[in-house]
Amino acid sequence: MKNLKVNIQSIQLIAAFCLMYSVAFSQKEKPKNLPNYDKKLLHFGFSLGINSGNSIIKYNPDAMLKDSLLSLEPTRIPGFGLGIVTNFQFADNFDLRFIPSLSFLTRQYDYRFCVKCKQTIPTDTLITKTVESTQLDFPLSIKFKSERVNNYRWYMLAGMKYSMDLASNKDVNTAATFPLRFQKTDLAYEVGLGLDFYLNYFKFSPELKLSMGTKNMLVKDNTAFSNPIQSLKTKTFYISFLFE
């Protein structure tokens, strides 16, 4: 049911962008705002946005049976971030974009263990583990832009991102609390789409982006919480608003 809700939300967001696109490009010709904007090779700005951190988990079946684990589910928790935009136009329809950002993310994992499995009526208990991250992100991407129509143009982007977690718990003592421990750095690839609005004094761009990690982020420490996981990779969805 959770996955269904997430899919419905994603479809609604994409539908909203398609509606904005159809409205923007169905308008008749009118005077352009910032007519000389795209003649400059270099632009700067800032970005604000929200994020939703999730994970791609590969389970260890043997450990799940041994530790009486009934289920393990990641839960989406909203976060936010801000960044500084540097955009270099190296061709008419292609930009090179670098947006160093500070992102605050929270990932939650719900463990359900069988407590009295051998009883006539078995019981279970829910244990939640939360991993909070304060990330320095360094994404570098190629932006493909459509032709400008009036004061709008749509774009797609693809690239890579290096991340460093300033709040990483990799080196914490796990003797008492048994937290899930994550690596300090990650490398991810990103894809996204957005729409540029040329306003009177600046360009405004709402954007959707998906980031998929390539590294196994889990630190194995031989506990009932890390043993069921063979590998854990990050998956983050971003909704950003760029001002240039």
Q: For residue 62, is it within any domain?
A: yes
d(CA 126, CA 152): 49
Domain that holds residue 178: 40-243
Specify the number of domains making up the chain. Answer: 1
- Predicted pLDDT at 138: 97
d(CA 89, CA 25): 23
Q: For residue 210, is it within any domain?
A: yes
- Predicted pLDDT at 1: 47
- Predicted pLDDT at 32: 85
d(CA 136, CA 12): 30
Task: State pLDDT tens for residues 198-241.
Answer: 999 999 999 999 999 999 999 888 888 888 899 999 999 999 99
In the chain, pLDDT over 90 holds for what percent of residues?
Answer: 57
Residue-averaged pLDDT of the chain: 85
More confident residue, 155 or 20: 155
Q: For residue 180, is it within any domain?
A: yes
Q: For residue 21, is it within any domain?
A: no
Indicate the SS3 state at residue 23: helix
Task: State pLDDT tens for residues 6-53.
Answer: 455 555 555 555 555 555 555 556 678 999 999 999 999 999 999 998
CATH of the domain at 210: 2.40.160.20
User: Whole-prediction pTM value?
Assistant: 0.80
Q: For residue 16, is it within any domain?
A: no
Q: For residue 96, is it within any domain?
A: yes
- Predicted pLDDT at 216: 95
Q: For residue 48, is it within any domain?
A: yes
Which residues, 6 or more positions from 30, have their beta carbon under 8 angstroms from its beta carbon? 150, 151
Nearest to 45 by CA among 163, 197, 205: 205
pLDDT at 84 over 60: yes
| Model confidence band, residue 2 (pLDDT cutoffs 50, 70, 90) | very low
Is 83 exposed, middle or buried, given 0-12, 13-18 or 19+ CB atoms closer than 10 A?
buried
Q: For residue 1, is it within any domain?
A: no
Q: What is the mean pLDDT of residues 63-86?
A: 84
